[in-house]
Amino acid sequence: MQPELAVGLPAAGSVCAAVLRTRPRAALLAAAGLGLLGLVAVVLSQPGRTSDQLGISLSLSPESRAMLIAAGGALALTVVLAPLAVERAILLTWGLAGFAGMAAIAAAGSLEVLILVVLVLSVLQAAASGDRSFVARVRGPVLAVVLLTLAAMFARVEGPQFLPRLAAVGLIAGLSAAVGTLPYMHQFDPQERTATSPIPWIAFIGPVLALAVLARARELIPSEGGVIGAMMIGLGLLNVVWGSLASWRTENGAAAWHYSFIADWGLVLSGLGLAIADGQRAAILLLYGIVLSRLPLYLWSRQSLREKRPNDRPINLLAAAMLAGAAPFAGFAARLLLLRGATQLYWPLALAIGLGLLLWLPPSLRLGRSLGLPRGRQAWGVGIALAINVVIGLYPQPFLALAGL
Amino acid sequence: MSAAAAFAAWLGASLIVLSEGRRGLAAGLALVTAGFAVITLVGGGVEAAAALVAGGSVAVVQRLRTGPDEWGVMPPGSTARLVLAAAVGLMALWISTSVMTGPGAPLRFAAMSVLGLTVARVLTPSEPPAVLTALGALALSVAAAAGAAGTSPGPALYVSAALVAAGVSWIRVGEVDAA
């Protein structure tokens, strides 16, 4: 029953918060209570155990469960320490809607259920009032829905030997379109509010979505593992180079953050594509970093970005070090594992990834400065995000064990 | 029967691509729903077909209540869309009958043509009513495509797709507050 509760309770919390929006305190209390219960359901769920209470098989994998717990933690952190300009009840409404969707994606027993959840999430997000048009916001995820559906169909029907290979292309292209990495980068408006921007796809929903799609891909086309891996490594390197260079060179600070997520996803894709233990571990650590540290830091940088108040205090340099993947942060352990995995597989690949890693420093310094001078709740938030990242970097094993690695 | 239903689904999706008014869009969605329901009745059972009919019907009725009050089929400048509808149909026909083998060609043709045409509607400049109609048809085609392997995925998936198709039709763009 836990997977159903993991989906249902946050969804109920989001609906409660939306219905009670004229009474923000009541909305916050109701939504927070239901959201916490949903998170408890995720924590108490047994990975791999199937539940079939609603006629649809639901089961959480260890990796997806770990990412859901991380996302729940990130949501709690950003709501409790939300910037003053952001209304917590609205943040929680959208956060819980996303969390419920993520739980449904993680628990979905079939690719089609996962696809329908992505469709629902994309329509809900696009329907919200925002600067970009409805059509512009829904394009990327809908393209993903179509590509994934076609891929599932190609994987299942009878036909020539190249059909499973086309299915593999469709799955990876669909995943890329849903998350918003190259070559299907979502249109980004720096002035847009975070909830309606592409950031939730790349930094909140994306990690669980990627793990779920790849798990389904392994079941659908087990013979095409090599093709999937090669495509992911290629896309990963492309995203590393493009994301880090663009994050460095772009004029707009918010756009630089968006590109930095893309660069991080490049490493994640490379790690997942390696298909050996070290690569998987590196990818999971990087995903923890995206959800628990990079996303909260982005949210707390928004006000400073609007006011154009960059700063060079030690806290900014620490944030820059974290974003660059320096020791002792989680990114360092992840990069070591990634390089080790790449060396095991094909050493020139490690060289290419290593050269790509050098591109991280200039944009990270810039992003660290963009945090401005954190004060009050923001300072606490930045401190906690950095501390979590250090803990993951120094003691990665419990976090990897949570993900079954 | 299945071949006629598949043709109806393609025709419906083409209408969604070619229409701007609420009546044209609703007629397109109704054809897509009917096409998939008939095909699913053969492979997925009565419950699955009934779910698609229910979800599609709600979406059609909702579409008839909102959007420009006209048929709006093939307004000036629709030549490219007409060519697209024909091209997607031919491509889907070729892949479903010649590249793919085994039984279920009508379902494969219907699913691929609706998927291709709905994504074309979303990726080209369109108004929200047209896009929401396309998304309703897309939800139905996701469930229908799951039966392409010849084994039914069970009624729960069709019910879910029907709920999504109906739910999408109730969405009012731009009325929700965001953080």
Q: What is the pLDDT of residues A330-380, one digit of tens each?
A: 999 999 999 999 999 888 888 888 888 888 888 999 999 988 888 888 889
Mean pLDDT (whole number) for A249-269:
93
Phi/psi at B21 (5° precision): -90, 160
Residue A127 to residue B172, Cβ atoms within 8 A: yes
Query: Is the confidence at residue B177, as pLDDT, over 50?
Result: no
Query: Is the confidence at residue B178, as pLDDT, over 50?
Result: no
pLDDT band for B155, please (50, 70, 90 cuts).
confident
Of B104, B119, B146, the CB nearest to A143: B119
For the CA atoms of chain A, what is the radius of gyration? 20
Distance from CA of B108 to the nearest CA of A (A): 8
**Torsion from C-alpha of A324, A330, A332, A333, nearest 10 degrees:** -160
Query: Is the confidence at residue A34, as pLDDT, over 90?
Result: yes
Residue B128 to residue A134, Cβ atoms within 8 A: yes
Of B122, B141, B161, the CB nearest to A135: B122
pLDDT value for A195: 85
Tokens of A290: 């995206």
Chain A CB contacts of B161 under 8 Å are: 112, 116
Residue B112 to residue A150, Cβ atoms within 8 A: yes
For B134, which residue in chain A has the nearest alpha carbon?
A142
Query: Is the confidence at residue B54, as pLDDT, over 90?
Result: yes
Residue A130 to residue B100, Cβ atoms within 8 A: no
Query: Is the confidence at residue A66, as pLDDT, over 90?
Result: yes
Mean pLDDT (whole number) for B50-73:
91
Of B160, B174, B177, the CB nearest to A90: B177
Tell me the range of A41-55, A311-325, B163-177 where mean pLDDT is highest: A311-325
B112 close contact with A: CB closer than 8 A? yes
User: Taking a C-beta distance cutoff of 8 angstroms, is the pair B39, B9 a contact?
Assistant: yes
Chain A CB contacts of B143 under 8 Å are: 112, 116
User: pLDDT tens for residues A77-118?
Assistant: 999 988 777 788 888 889 999 999 999 999 998 899 999 999
Cis peptide before A328 (omega within 30 of 0): yes
For B164, which residue in chain A has the nearest alpha carbon?
A120
pLDDT value for A129: 74
Residue A135 to residue B126, Cβ atoms within 8 A: yes
Of B153, B156, B178, the CB nearest to A193: B178
B77 close contact with A: CB closer than 8 A? no
Task: Report the C-alpha gap between A115 and A141 in whole angstroms.
Answer: 10
Residue A128 to residue B178, Cβ atoms within 8 A: yes
Q: How many percent of chain A have pLDDT more than 70?
A: 100
pLDDT value for B174: 59
Q: Is B67 helix (H, G, I), strand (E, B) or coil?
A: coil
B52 close contact with A: CB closer than 8 A? no
Residue listed under structure tokens 């949570």: A402
Residue A163 to residue B99, Cβ atoms within 8 A: yes
Greater confidence, A99 or B177?
A99
Of A110, A139, A146, the CB nearest to B153: A110
Distance from CA of B26 to the nearest CA of A (A): 19
Residue B148 to residue A159, Cβ atoms within 8 A: no
pLDDT band for A52, please (50, 70, 90 cuts).
confident
B43 close contact with A: CB closer than 8 A? no
B118 close contact with A: CB closer than 8 A? yes
B175 close contact with A: CB closer than 8 A? yes
pLDDT value for A1: 67
Tell me the range of A26-30, A108-112, A159-163, A334-338 where mean pLDDT is highest: A334-338
Distance from CA of B50 to the nearest CA of A (A): 17
pLDDT band for B151, please (50, 70, 90 cuts).
confident
For A147, which residue in chain B has the nearest alpha carbon?
B115
B173 close contact with A: CB closer than 8 A? yes
Query: Is the confidence at residue A3, as pLDDT, over 90?
Result: no
B101 close contact with A: CB closer than 8 A? yes
B149 close contact with A: CB closer than 8 A? yes
B115 close contact with A: CB closer than 8 A? yes
Chain A CB contacts of B162 under 8 Å are: none
Residues sharing a CB contact under 8 Å with residue B111, sequence separation 6 or more, in sequence order: A149, A153, B141, B144, B145, B148
Q: How many percent of chain B have pLDDT more than 70?
A: 97
pLDDT band for A305, please (50, 70, 90 cuts).
confident
Mean pLDDT (whole number) for A64-73:
94
Q: What is the pTM of this model?
A: 0.94
